[in-house]
């Protein structure tokens, strides 16, 4: 079971990374037309788009988030590279129904809309890894929201008419139908493809690394912040043979551990591989004290989220 914590190998990898390419990334344009009227507490499911094609885009009328369509298809899920980990095996073929995936990680400005609508609780703290003022600082409006629990992420997605993606949806959106190791292919990561290995030391603006896009045009799936997904964590789940729209184990561990995907700004290349899985304590809404660790679960300056929809 892997946790999102610094590992000693980061030091060694950092030394080698200094020799990697360091071309400056070119940022994409972000949505600016956020709703002028505060949306209601619960928003309807996103309007359907008929006959959508792979990579087709639409934007949410609730929070301005652009989404790309991931079509029906089959892909190979799990580790397919020499750095495979036990909980990434066995690799197996999974068949998926089409869905929409947010192109970007949910930003501070987007999350603030939900807080202003009294539908979401603010992040557990307003700082980031190295910045004392972050969530409440307009300079970082287009940066990923952090210090949110699994329940806060789930609540936001439902408010926006979407939902947290399953682990299988996340990996399909990152990999496509070939056998790549990273969202962009098999080339080793460098500072032009993502925010990892402490190249920056904190979060970066979402969509800042178009060279790191997945085959469907999804951004920031390797580094920046790791992302909550819907599934409970089970290190042996892949061996259970769920191969059609898998939603993760039905049972939970004692501590409600959830899967987190994508790696963080601190992680070495081995942990921004798209097959990498992390286990983080999720929320337990049945706990009596809503301020307790049991209720909240874990939260971190290195964990954010994105949403999906059918």
What order of strands is seen across the sheet that includes strand 308-309?
57-59, 66-70, 99-102, 308-309
What is the rounded radius of gyration, in angstroms, for the C-alpha atoms of the chain? 18
Closest CA to 185 of 177, 175, 171: 175
State the average pLDDT for the chain.
87
Q: What is the pLDDT of residue 116?
A: 97
Say which range, 67-81, 197-211, 239-253, 259-273, has the weakest mean pLDDT: 239-253
Average pLDDT over residues 76-103: 97
Average pLDDT over residues 287-302: 94
Query: Residue 94 pLDDT more than 50?
Result: yes
Q: What is the pLDDT of residue 10?
A: 34
Contacts of 136 (CB under 8 A, 6+ apart): 126
Query: Residue 292 pLDDT more than 80?
Result: yes
Q: What is the CATH number of domain 1-17+55-310?
A: 3.90.1580.10
**Residue, of 85 and 27, whose pLDDT is higher:** 85
Q: What is the pLDDT of residue 57?
A: 94
State pLDDT tens for residues 162-206: 999 999 999 999 999 999 999 999 999 999 999 999 999 999 999
pTM: 0.86
Closest CA to 220 of 230, 228, 229, 210: 210
Closest CA to 149 of 221, 256, 264: 256
Q: What is the pLDDT of residue 145?
A: 98
Q: What is the pLDDT of residue 41?
A: 39
Angle at CA of residue 164, ends 145 and 91, nearest 5°: 110
C-alpha 114: how far from chain center? 19
Q: What percent of the chain has pLDDT over 90?
A: 79
Q: What is the pLDDT of residue 195?
A: 97
Query: Residue 268 pLDDT more than 50?
Result: yes
Q: What is the pLDDT of residue 53?
A: 80
Around Cβ 158, how many Cβ atoms within 10 Å? 18
Q: What is the pLDDT of residue 18?
A: 40
The domain segmentation of the chain, as residue ranges, is: 1-17+55-310
State pLDDT tens for residues 22-70: 444 445 555 443 333 333 334 544 455 667 787 789 999 999 999 999 9
C-alpha 204: how far from chain center? 14
Average pLDDT over residues 296-307: 97
Average pLDDT over residues 77-90: 96
Question: Parallel, antiparallel, or unpaired for β 92-96 and 66-70?
Answer: unpaired
Q: What is the pLDDT of residue 16?
A: 39
Query: Residue 283 pLDDT more than 90?
Result: yes
State pLDDT tens for residues 209-234: 999 999 999 999 999 999 999 999 99
Q: What percent of the chain has pLDDT over 70?
A: 84
């Amino acid at each position: 079971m892997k946790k999102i914590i610094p590992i000693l190998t980061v030091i060694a990898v950092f030394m080698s990374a200094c020799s990697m390419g360091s071309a400056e990334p070119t940022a994409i344009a972000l949505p600016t037309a956020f709703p002028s009227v505060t949306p209601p507490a619960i928003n309807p499911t996103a309007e359907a788009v008929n006959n959508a094609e792979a990579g087709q885009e639409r934007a949410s009328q609730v929070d301005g988030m652009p989404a790309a369509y991931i079509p029906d298809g089959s892909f190979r899920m799990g580790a397919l590279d020499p750095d495979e980990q036990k909980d990434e095996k066995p690799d197996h073929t999974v068949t998926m129904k089409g869905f929409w995936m947010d192109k970007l990680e949910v930003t501070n400005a987007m999350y603030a809309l939900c807080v202003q609508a009294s539908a979401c609780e603010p992040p557990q703290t307003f700082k980031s890894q190295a910045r004392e003022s972050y969530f409440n600082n307009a300079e970082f409006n287009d940066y990923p929201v952090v210090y949110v629990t699994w329940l806060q992420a789930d609540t936001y997605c439902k408010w926006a008419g979407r939902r947290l993606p399953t682990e299988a949806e996340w990996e399909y959106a990152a990999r496509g139908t070939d056998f790549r190791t990273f969202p962009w292919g098999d080339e080793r990561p460098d500072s032009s493809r993502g925010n990892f290995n402490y190249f920056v030391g904190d979060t970066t603006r979402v969509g800042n690394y178009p060279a790191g896009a997945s085959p469907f045009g999804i951004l920031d799936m390797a580094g920046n912040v790791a992302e909550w997904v819907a599934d409970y964590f089970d290190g042996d789940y892949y061996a259970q043979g769920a191969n059609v729209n898998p939603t993760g184990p039905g049972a939970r561990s004692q501590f409600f551990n959830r899967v987190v995907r994508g790696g963080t700004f601190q992680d070495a290349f081995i942990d921004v591989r798209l097959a990498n899985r992390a286990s983080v304590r999720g929320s337990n809404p049945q706990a009596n004290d809503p301020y307790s660790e049991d209720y909240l679960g874990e939260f971190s300056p290195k964990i954010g989220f994105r949403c999906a929809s059918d």
